[in-house]
Amino acid sequence: MAGLTTSGFVSATVEEIRVIIANALKANLGASIDTNPSSRIGQFIDIVASELFTLWEGLEAVYASQFPVSASGVSLDNIGSITNTLRSSGVYGLVRVIFGGQVGSVIPQNSLVSNGQGYEFATQGPLTIVENTVLLRTDLIPTSDAARFFLMLDGYDADTFEIYNQYTTTEIVDQIIAASKPRRWLYSGVRDGSKATIQTVGDHPYKVGDEVIQTNTTGFYFDGTKTITAVPTPNTYEYADASTALGPLIFDQTANEYVRARAQSKNAMLTAAQITVEGQFSLNGAVWIRFNPTVPTQRWYMRVTENNMYAGPTPTTLTVNYSVATDVEALGTTFKDQAFPTHSVSEIVSSVFGVSEVTNLLAGRSSKERETDAAYRQRLTEELQNPGGATITGIRDGVKSVLGVSYVAIVDNPLSLADSAGRPPHSMEVYVEGGDTNEVAQKIYDLHPAGVQVVSTAVPADKRTGNIIDVNGTASTLTFSKLKDTPIRVEMTLTKDPLIYPSDGDDRIKADIIAYVNALNVGEPLYCHKLIGLIDKVPGIKSIVIGARIEATGGPLEQVVTPPGFSRLSIVPTYVVIISL
């Protein structure tokens, strides 16, 4: 029997429908009528039976959509919404990218870039390539040796400088400052003011303690070597001359002494405040340099004079281009399970005149496929078998679907008494990392069960308060908690072989430990033995003794450090201590 039965819904077949129609026609028009499929009436019966069968199929689909085991698509989503267990929506990848190319080139909003593996991103704002920003990029992340560059300032030559594979941003800034020293010219002349002759005597500024040596090419008229003893004002230099009653002789642009000197005023020596560097070749495969000169018209050039960087046995290709003044977010265009490490976004899909390269200095947010029907159905089944869990999981997954959210944790207190952390009865505390505060707050409000209060036990600095619209359309606010970083200290005693241990060994160890610790997930402990492999990558280490502790406790060093509550471990260079033996 077709229809709803004790065994469920049973659909009528086309043949059953045909028999029912044929019998009805014979009962009303006479048993003698011909209902065979080859007759005209029989053909009409077949047409009507086929159409009615589609209605039965629709009824069967409606029936099936009421049960997780047979529902699919939106119908399965609707079943999940009954228990507030939402399907995990897909997550778009997100990276921050920078471009290189010709000065003045404009990268429009929504320009497409790719990781070369079929995943495309659209830039979220326009950018312009400017003349005081430089992008140095290798096609492969190098693993050894150095690259040598030549820096030109506003058309005048300056010193060459090297950037090694492992150079930190601070070391790169120091190299650029040293290379930006302007050349100096000395004028030789006589005290009576006769016309001086320009003589180039050095590529660096004089400072106290520098020696000025008499040579035929410089035209100096004193005997022997003179030592600079003071720098009274910028661009003037003096040395004491005990053999003359004239006192200290001053090198400057105005005094009519034996020797005059001047500096190129357009290219004053750079300072650290005028240079911003991001990236490291060994980590990011790129270095992004932004100059902020005090002279607005000053231009900066770089070109490669030598490149000795290798990725294993393979030589790298190094490019130097002008770049943009700021990076920009690029949002993925599809859902796909892919990760985007540093240096992975390298292809320009939307061709833009004058723009030749793109890269990401930082790892991006991974893209995630939308949860499939099979996985969602399995999760619904598991959660319905565990009463009370569906609501919490549904809220967690719903909040995780907000753009930019990377982590969600929920602690509920279903009891009629406050819990040990001070959460009131029938309340829940939501910990969220990332995402727009207002969007996250609204999502929590929309999903949290009626009668359950959303609270935060965090200190004010660790709370996030967003604007929401409640069920009555009234503007309000909702406060939730943010994840905390727990700073730790790592101390090690290293016995080193001074003949093998490299001069930058400590810096390399610190960089590796900082990268490892700061990549730990929320709640993930640090096991010190896992750091030994990172340390041992540096040659010349004979023995290692290592321990760690949460910095705020000040207790003894431990071999395992676990972050308290909903927090994650973090570390800064100051708290990586290396004791050398």
* Over residues 429-445, mean pLDDT: 92
DSSP symbol at 360? -
| Percent of the chain whose predicted confidence (pLDDT) is above 90 | 35
Backbone phi and psi for residue 359, each to the nearest 5 degrees, phi listed first:
-155, 165
Q: Which amino acid is at 180?
A: S
Separation of alpha carbons 308 and 314, rounded Å? 11
Confidence of residue 248 (pLDDT cuts 50, 70, 90): very low
Rounded to 5°, the CA angle 345-349-352 comes to: 110
Does residue 410 contact residue 427 with C-beta atoms inside 8 Å? no
Domains, the chain, ranges and CATH? 3-64 (no CATH), 94-179+271-359 (no CATH), 184-263 (no CATH), 388-482 (3.30.300), 485-580 (no CATH)
Residue 278 forms beta bridges with which residues? 288
Residue 144 forms beta bridges with which residues? 310
Q: Name the nearest CA neighbour of 411 among 566, 523, 569.
A: 566
* Over residues 523-540, mean pLDDT: 89
DSSP symbol at 293? -
- What's the confidence (pLDDT) of residue 446? 86
269 sits in the region (left: phi over 0; alpha: psi -120 to 50; else beta) called beta
Separation of alpha carbons 75 and 81, rounded Å? 10
Of the listed ranges 188-192, 392-396, 551-555, the one predicted with least confidence? 188-192
pLDDT at 60 over 90: no
Q: How far is CA 417 from the centre of its chain?
A: 43
- What's the confidence (pLDDT) of residue 439? 94
* Over residues 453-482, mean pLDDT: 89
140-171 confidence digits (pLDDT tens): 888 877 677 666 654 444 556 788 888 899 99
Q: Token pair of 405, please?
A: 């959210």
Confidence of residue 298 (pLDDT cuts 50, 70, 90): low
Does residue 141 contact residue 122 with C-beta atoms inside 8 Å? no
443 vs 302 pLDDT, higher one: 443
Q: Is 168 helix (H, G, I), strand (E, B) or coil?
A: coil
Residue 288 forms beta bridges with which residues? 135, 278
Does residue 199 contact residue 177 with C-beta atoms inside 8 Å? no
- What's the confidence (pLDDT) of residue 567? 82
pLDDT at 580 over 50: yes
77-81 own/partner pairs: CB under 8 Å, 24+ apart: 79/380, 80/376, 80/380, 80/394
H or E, element range at 65: none
Separation of alpha carbons 474 and 480, rounded Å? 19
Rounded to 5°, the CA angle 108-109-110 comes to: 115
Please state, rounded to an integer, the average pLDDT across all residues of the chain: 79
257-292 confidence digits (pLDDT tens): 333 333 333 345 678 888 899 999 988 999 999 987
Confidence of residue 345 (pLDDT cuts 50, 70, 90): very high
- What's the confidence (pLDDT) of residue 560? 93
Q: Token pair of 230, please?
A: 């003071």
Length in residues, the chain: 581
Does residue 258 contact residue 221 with C-beta atoms inside 8 Å? yes
Q: Name the nearest CA neighbour of 213 among 203, 204, 223, 205.
A: 223
- What's the confidence (pLDDT) of residue 269? 66
**Torsion angle, CA of 161/167/172/175, rounded to 10 degrees?**
-40
82-120 confidence digits (pLDDT tens): 766 778 777 889 999 999 999 999 999 999 999 999 999
Residue 524 forms beta bridges with which residues? none
Backbone phi and psi for residue 242, each to the nearest 5 degrees, phi listed first:
-70, -15
Separation of alpha carbons 481 and 90, rounded Å? 24
Which residues, in sequence order, are CB contacts of 117 under 8 Å at separation 6+?
338
Q: How far is CA 308 from the centre of its chain?
A: 28
Q: Is 261 helix (H, G, I), strand (E, B) or coil?
A: strand
Cα-only R_g, the chain: 37
173-228 confidence digits (pLDDT tens): 888 887 776 544 333 333 333 333 333 334 334 444 445 444 333 333 334 444 55
Q: Name the nearest CA neighbour of 138 among 312, 300, 366.
A: 312
Q: How far is CA 535 from the centre of its chain?
A: 25
Q: Which of 127-131, 174-178, 205-209, 235-239 has the highest mean pLDDT?
A: 127-131
Does residue 581 contact residue 495 with C-beta atoms inside 8 Å? yes
Is the whole-model pTM more than 0.85?
A: no
H or E, element range at 250: strand 249-251
Report helix angle 373-384 to 73-82, nearest 10. Answer: 20
Within 340-400, residue ranges assigned H as helices are 373-384, 389-400
Confidence of residue 414 (pLDDT cuts 50, 70, 90): confident
Does residue 145 contact residue 309 with C-beta atoms inside 8 Å? yes
The beta-strand segments (E) located in 105-190 are: 106-107, 112-114, 120-123, 127-138, 146-153, 156-164, 184-188
Separation of alpha carbons 288 and 273, rounded Å? 16
Q: Which amino acid is at 505?
A: G
